[in-house]
Structure 1
């Protein structure tokens, strides 16, 4: 199978390339412009992939409030363009979306079939991308929603926490936003499974378990010390979101129900987020 990965700078594309190796071609902004149909269509026509995995996204949640046009171009227009190309070329598309398409008020894990109601520019543009995909390419696409992604590559919450814990005398971390941390490696495995099996539909994929950002930070410190990535513990204090206002509204509860994904991506075993965090920190140390 000829696979093209869209996006070459992110955590997910990094893990996809590690899995697929020379079996995949990775395209970045220097290779094509996914926001312009004619440009991306010509690039892809020359490569003639059977499968496209879209790992490109505008993910700066707060910055999106100031730059909704660019956010929409990457998260919605580009998805529409890729879906149109795949329909014309008879190719299969795997696209990754986010827990931010939900409003966060449900209080129990979100099912793939639950209605979406995004709260900010980032979530709204990701929702627009989903709608375009499902309207244009429902029979030849897999939409995978995920959350709280991190890896040993790129910028993310884990690496930020490790840096701040080494620099600061103490930290405050929000304790009333609840979700599930996800190692990009496991997400990449699910994307590859969907690509290889042409799995059609909407699925949720995160690691197992539930955490607040505070819980996640405490675990990062404990494991960081255990693995010698941090020299000493500092106080990590829980605070409510109201004490840390941000430009973008975030869902208070965005745990995703993965039951259907466990069945469909049977070769990918969802693992508890703390165990995945430990494995990623081992990799970071190495």
Structure 2
């Protein structure tokens, strides 16, 4: 077992996950860069730094998850932080299509069920599968943290408010997947509330990434700030919370 704490960030070869990995290394962690494509993960680690290690991890593939968990156990012998960042927003957004146009194509009345299934497979079931596989290592850590990267787009409280200007784009695909992820975060927190593991959900905000065709208004550093903060909280930090950089958010 190595002396430095170890963090795994899923979907870390680009975007917010990439920045989270860089920030965690700056905080003294060895960081495992989870990536579906191993070569892209290796390329990312060279830029992130010498304490970054590429881990092939497709959160929708059981064999990939098992292999990653076995490698982490055998090669690093510990896991202190799990940041479930890997996510997709859609599978059918065509080049040039605006978010509003896409939203109209995936209303409850017309959405294809395969579209819902594909997004939930990564954003919800993938998070559960990865967490289950790595929970033994996290339980063995002296003070472990699980951070699920969610979104304010999934807030039922916000989207039930007619004054919310973004309410019209709430739908059964990406937004609902983040609602479900929030529910899973709370379920995890309830199960683990008497353990050494703190579980929280972080909203990074509307960050410029491939997920939104780079239409976001925040920088990667701004988007990574809240997930990293929750990964580093002490014993008196929150458990079972949902927050962004401005503070607590409504579920």
- Is contact 2:66–2:133 with CA below 8 Å preserved after alignment? yes
- Is contact 1:102–1:119 with CA below 8 Å preserved after alignment? no
- Is contact 1:83–1:133 with CA below 8 Å preserved after alignment? no
Give 1:1-286 correspondences, 5 Å limit.
1-21=5-25, 23-30=30-37, 31-37=56-62, 39-47=64-72, 48-60=78-90, 63=93, 65-66=111-112, 67-89=115-137, 90=139, 91-102=144-155, 104-106=159-161, 119-138=171-190, 139=193, 140-150=198-208, 155-157=213-215, 181-197=217-233, 199=237, 200-206=239-245, 258-260=246-248
- Is contact 2:10–2:57 with CA below 8 Å preserved after alignment? no
- Is contact 1:146–1:182 with CA below 8 Å preserved after alignment? no
Distance 2:31 2:214 in 1: 25
* Inter-CA distance 152–119: structure 2 relative to 1 (3 Å threshold): closer
Unaligned runs of 5+ in 1: 110-117, 159-180, 207-257, 262-286
Distance 1:144 1:68 in 2: 22
1:152 Cα deviation after fit:
10
What does the per-residue CA deviation read over 1:84-131, in whole Å, with 9 as the maximum and x for residues that have no partner?
A: 23433315211111122135341568xxxxxxxx53211122222222
What does the per-residue CA deviation read over 1:195-233, in whole Å, with 9 as the maximum and x for residues that have no partner?
A: 122542323215xxxxxxxxxxxxxxxxxxxxxxxxxxx
1:62 Cα deviation after fit:
6.1
Distance 2:120 2:210 in 1: 28
Greater Cα shift, 63-72 or 11-20: 63-72
Q: What SS is found at the alignment partner of 1:156?
A: coil
Structure ID, larger Rg? 1
Distance 1:62 1:120 in 2: 14
Distance 1:106 1:68 in 2: 24
What does the per-residue CA deviation read over 1:167-191, in whole Å, with 9 as the maximum and x for residues that have no partner?
A: xxxxxxxxxxxxxx43331231222
Greater Cα shift, 76-85 or 39-48: 39-48
1:156 Cα deviation after fit:
0.8
CA RMSD of aligned residues (A): 3.1
Distance 1:34 1:153 in 2: 16
Unaligned runs of 5+ in 2: 38-55, 73-77, 94-105, 165-169
* Inter-CA distance 101–205: structure 2 relative to 1 (3 Å threshold): same
Q: What SS is found at the alignment partner of 1:14?
A: helix
Distance 2:23 2:187 in 1: 30
